[in-house]
Structure 1
């Protein structure tokens, strides 16, 4: 048993880097590669030609892998993503390449959903890799128009763990604030980080997911905490509003609905399973992301869960949980579902809670 535990390698963390066409993904990536210290990064792109890699950073080219001076490496997707990752991991095991984490740079209008599902559905990837977070780069200058025209760009924002705001110096303060408000209406749990000349500290891109048993209480809760609220009465009923802000409505934005709930008492296991099974059965294809920290009755250890459409990562128990409360927090982000539908779904869980709000 001890020998097995010692020889079992940890899962390689994978960051999905997405964003609008021309938003600044490659600028950010080149900065990360050139300034990396300690850990080595394997970057996967669709084509080297599209990657726009800074050739001053390149040390050598070995077959289909570009080696950087920093020790990082870059390769293009050959056939499909799963085969590319399997090939990289085999080379790592054979000591032919060295890397500690993977960054996948998507094309400008790629939907992150199918990539996230690949890591849940593919047994090899599930065994050797884990999604560390989704980083979406958004252009403050052209982003609003892109959101109006391309629903894929709206999905990229809605599914992000971190939003990196680029080119903020090209717009007025009022326009930037209005755009950030719009971004928060689409995704209230993602932090918005303003890039400085396209660059952010590399450490801010890592360890974004709450799906790790080593997460502290604060880190796990931050993964589910709403970044902004417009209504001081929000959540008095246990449900947090995630509707769009007042102002002009946007057709594509209206297709994204989200809702969150805080339940103060542990949930019966059967009630939680029924809620999740019902949600997946009725609207599985429309679920962009569902995530949460859940306390179940008769189980002391809470767990975090995460899913995309009908596929879910194995739940992760938080064995080192130090929190004294037994609150469960769940966030659902969906496509073509109204907030009323989402609230109705979450009400299945509220029905099993004792009412703590007295009528005024």
Structure 2
């Protein structure tokens, strides 16, 4: 069952986006999990029936509140689905505006019942174009939400000057160069854009995996800004001390890596600074294995790696991206020394 995490700071526009999701019949039958119906501000015109903890929508979707632990709520949804009470094709979990998405992702991987029945399809973060810059200045939680996203939805861009929007976009790219940015006014124009964001899914084609990992579609020049972290054009964007707490680093290794070297690198990184790892993801070629695999982790919890089929035979380069908080660029690059020292060929890192 695909799960999408919807996050964003208070007032960013998550409620508006939720109502747009629940009114979009083309999205299929969705189970949306919110904290409280009153806080969500659901459009009552979309509702069919309501019970204490579930609201059925005219679109066929349903909305439920978190009762106790999130794992219990999701498990209860599955049990009621199996009992025939209702059906759904995907789950959207809306976080509170102050929430760190990390623990939710970990819950889906650590809880055995959920790990066997769900897969994270992507993190969508809503950013308010009007108040977002000030929020990023004042609230580090908002910065972390941006850094962890697969997709950034820029709301209320119609309320500010285009040059202000451009400066905010550059700031967001500085925090998370691998996330795609889309604009939406009152939740419009997002149909089909919120799903299938992660490269960690069966059947993902190499181009999708590359875009998700590096933030860039494959270029004509295979080495052109492959890491996705080349410096952008100069923009007069104001940054805060919170922004400086987020660092990104990437490395490209031309030749396959020893499995022992890769495991030692990853285990050491997680052991020393696991709680500060917002996202670690990559495409990795190991020695004596023809097919590469894509891996992904948040803090000290990692998804099971997936092989990527139909990868071009003439490309055996590993690409690894780390987005972390409170780790200097020097520390991140030093962590790559274990991989650099084991690779005799030319490497790139940013």
Work out whether the TM-score is over 0.5.
yes
RMSD of aligned residue pairs (Cα, Å): 2.3
**In structure 1, how many angstroms separate the alpha carbons of the residues matched to 2:272 and 2:57?**
48
Of 245-254 and 117-126, more deviation after overlay is shown by 245-254
Q: Distance in 1 between matches of 2:128 and 2:121?
A: 23
Match of 2:220 in 1: none
Match of 1:208 in 2: 197
Q: Distance in 2 between matches of 1:59 and 1:334?
A: 44
| Partners of 2:214 and 2:321 within 8 A in 1 | no
Structure 1: distance between partners of 2:215 and 2:179: 8
Q: Given the two structures, how large is their TM-score scaled by the length of structure 2?
A: 0.92
Change (3 A) 1:242 1:135: farther
Distance 2:268 2:232 in 1: 23
Work out the CA distance in 1 between the residues paired with 2:226 and 2:178: 19
Of 224, 249, 254, 1:259 maps to 249
Structure 2: state its 5+ residue gaps. 218-222
Contact 1:214 1:320 in 2 (8 A): no
1:281 is matched with which residue?
A: 271
Give per-residue Cα distances to partners, 1:271-309, cap 9 Å, x unaligned.
101110110111111111101111101001111111111
Q: CA deviation at 1:344?
A: 1.2
Which residue of the partner structure matches residue 231 of structure 1?
A: none
Partner of 2:46: 57
TM-score (norm 1): 0.90
Q: Distance in 2 between matches of 1:72 and 1:259?
A: 40
> Quick one: distance in 2 between partners of 1:107 and 1:31?
18
Query: Which one of 27, 31, 35 corresponds to residue 46 of structure 1?
Result: 35
> 1:123-142 alignment to 2 at 5 Å?
123-142=112-131
Report how far residue 197 of structure 1 moved: 3.5
Of 299, 319, 326, the residue aligned with 2:309 is 319
**Aligned CA distance change for structure 1 residues 255 and 243 (closer, same or farther; 3 Å):** farther
Structure 1 residues not aligned, in runs of 5+: 1-11, 229-233
Residue 62 of structure 1 deviates from its aligned partner by 3.2
Do the aligned partners of 1:243 and 1:258 also contact (CA within 8 Å) in 2? no
- Distance, in Å, in 1 between the alignment partners of 2:34 and 2:326 is 30
Report the Cα distance in structure 2 between the residues aligned to 1:202 and 1:323, rounded to whole angstroms: 35
DSSP-derived class of the 1:202 partner: coil
Give a deviation string over 1:91-114, Cα, whole Å, max 9, x none.
Answer: 111111100000011111111011
Which deviates more from structure 2 when the two are superposed, residues 141-150 or residues 317-326? 317-326
Within a 5 Å distance, the mapping from 1:6-155 to structure 2 comes to: 12-37=1-26, 39-155=28-144
Deviations 1:52-111 (A, max 9, x none): 100000000134210000100000000010000000001111111100000011111111
1:35 is displaced (CA, Å) by: 1.6
Does the CA-based 8 Å contact 1:167-1:198 persist in structure 2?
Answer: no
Task: Tell me the distance in 2 between the aligned counterparts of 1:197 and 1:280.
Answer: 40
Partner of 1:7: none
Which digits, 9 at most, give the CA deviation of each residue in 1:297-324, with x for residues without a partner? 1001111111111111111112343453
Quote the Cα distance in structure 1 between the aligned partners of 2:233 and 2:326: 14
Q: Whole-Å Cα distance in 2 between the matches of residues 244 and 123 of structure 1?
A: 46
- Per the alignment, in what secondary structure is the counterpart of residue 160 of structure 1? coil
Shift of 1:327: 1.2
- Measured in 1, the distance between the counterparts of 2:215 and 2:201 equals 20
Answer yes or no: is 1:172 the counterpart of 2:137.
Answer: no
Aligned residue pairs, count: 342
**In 1, Cα distance between equivalents of 2:20 and 2:227:** 42
- Aligned-residue offset at 1:256: 0.6
How many Å apart are 1:264 and its aligned residue? Answer: 1.4
User: Runs of at least 4 residues of structure 1 off by over 6 A?
Assistant: 234-239, 242-246
Once the two structures are TM-superposed, the CA of residue 121 in structure 1 deviates from its matched residue by 1.0
Pick closer, same or farther for the CA change 1:79–1:26 going to 2, 3 Å.
Answer: same
Distance in 1 separating the partners of 2:45 and 2:91: 21
Q: What is the distance in 1 between the residues matched to 2:210 and 2:226?
A: 20
- Counterpart in the other structure of 1:4: none
CA distance in 2, matches of 1:130, 1:236: 30
Closer, same or farther: CA 113–38 of 1 in aligned 2, 3 Å: closer
CA gap of 1:235–1:283, structure 2 versus 1, over 3 A, is farther
